[in-house]
Amino acid sequence: MTTTKGILRLIEHGGTLDELAKALDMSKSILVARIEFLVRAGYLCELRAGHGCAECTMCKTCNVPVPGGGKDGVKMYVLTDKGRETIAGGKK
């Protein structure tokens, strides 16, 4: 089974869900479930382009398209301090 640390490292480097699922050798639905858990556990923070993203430090330079005018936006995930500490500190 892929560790939390392994998933966080890949998310830190970026990529689509399809790319990450392939790299982790898991189904996309399992990856989504793991990501949702990591958000609830405080390892990741979910950002949605078009929804409060003005708070994001990348807001002025971001060019992520918001499909259909942005009702739902595009989900993006960033590591929280807890997530970065997990990668740096070797926690599983």
3-state DSSP assignment of residue 57:
coil
Arithmetic mean of pLDDT over the chain: 79
For 8, 45, 55, the CA distances from 39, given in Å and listed in that order, are 11, 6, 18
Rounded CA-CA distance 32/34 in Å is: 5
Structure tokens at 16: 């689509």
Class of domain 4-89: mainly alpha
Tell me: the pLDDT tens digits for 40-81? 999 999 876 555 555 666 666 666 655 444 445 567 888 999
For 4, 40, 43, 44, 74, the CA distances from 37, given in Å and listed in that order, are 10, 5, 9, 9, 19
At 75 the pLDDT is 75
